[in-house]
Chains A and B, each alone.
Chain A
């Protein structure tokens, strides 16, 4: 029972997902009117309750200092996994709020919410898994659900997104598995502890460990959406239902970094190979930032633009991972920076997607040209989107500024000054396309005078995200403390 409590937040999500499926299977017996009630209120309501319950459970863990490892040390509830559990529960709530109006009229929404909940449970397992097999199972749990979600609309674009994501995801899973098999062969253990022990003393097997790191980075890089494993991002982001795009760009990406941090810092952090993978991540970071930002400059579709922007943001995440390897005090700074960046990015990007959903639902277009004059059609939405884009650029007083400051500082402290400089140059490039949208919204004649109003649920989600990014920008200290405590979980 002790074990069950430790994985409570995930279990609750999965149980609610199963309940949704069962209730939906029998809802047809209720008669047409009650079925409508179930369909309109019951399904999203139950999913939302699941998300809230999971969040409360995770917060209760944090408040009561419940920590420990479960299931023969394959899953661990420490500050690190708890930080991500809270983050993912928040993401689930946001995704449910986004989806309610987006899915109106879709007959399969119970399945949709069940898949969202199950994949979120997978994300939480991913952040706490300490065993290669547990990591792989969690990775597949979340990936398979997300493949279906990406193709959920069943129109041409969405199906293409689903298939593309599935095929490339299968390749990535194979690469991950190959890397894991190598690690197991080199260390004789599937637990990260055993791998860490083997990696610390095995100087003659350095080549093998480097090869394993490269394969693992390739497989996990697919989840993190970093160059050169970013090919799927624009098409999948554009084709998938927009709430799912928001989910992929925040939840899936953060989980990718969580598991990469755990495998590389906890498993391969000691010994001669740490500088090798740190250099690899530093190079990939510069590539991701540059490619994402440069290609985003010429995008006309807002979902594609946010897709490329998320590749660029993944580059900033990687700075934190590259800074970790420099030595003992760096673990806290680099990893703390990564975690704080994840929190700030979650609020910012979810807010941006909430605005995009609200606007494109009304104007039936994802083209940036149609955002012209949006400030006159909907002053509040335009303001919210502006704040999110400003935060993505990294301008005070928003969360993005603090996060970038933190993570660049970590790079400088780790003697990676060139990386910090590359990051700053890239932030300047990104300002052009982020602020171009802002300019577009405030200057120029609107395409049509018709006002754009968000639905109440989207308004709540947007307001919460914007409030979050402003609070994190002005008073970030509680979250920074939590991030640093989480980063200490590895040492």
Chain B
């Protein structure tokens, strides 16, 4: 368990992390999200003791990282795959790191096998592609067989095959009961891997919840309706307190009402329905909304910790237009629940 409490870090004038508190709970994949420059890497550096905080603390199972008896057996971290001496072979890179924690020499061969780098073990890492470097970085994290794994933007710059490999690897690690803490600026990446989310913007916490909660709270749900009598339905929905706008392919997107209410209203007004679908906002959209709000609300202290979407969906003015945009992003939307 990683416990972050009131963490703040300034670099000169710039506040990178501001009073951040959250937990990374065991046995789950926790996605650490935020736009570029939100303070994700800084937070990870603070967790590992690479940088010192100006205020607050981070503990791993109750201890500071630097006090852990054998750090590599507790935490495996990959912050920058290119942070290696290019003149050293993959084997020697792993060996010199394993030796610091008194790990057996044979472990080096095992982790090389695990990430599929055995054939290039004696090659100098200078010639490695980003994908190979990423595998080497993951091999480092696995040396001590740790319970907690931390990855900073692990798929950044990788080709689709590399992304798939990393994604499956993280899933497998989580399936083994390990705690995985992984950062990304791409929501769509987390959508398939994370159980738990920590979202930050401008160094401050925006959300700390489960994936389901995040989607529900941030955007609520809308109902997509296909009908040959759209004008009648729009009016009926408006009368019932909801709102309907034109979506893609001639459908209507209704917000402020649940699917059952929409169906009942249509029945009462004799409107024929060809489709009635619950649409949940994609993570990407929810994330964009949340981080856009973090910019919008900057300076108003008491709004910061609270996800703006926690109010009832549909009751906020100006939200009616949004669902239609969401529905238009076909491949990012999840339909009919999770």
A and B interact: no
Interface residues of A (CB under 8 A from B): none
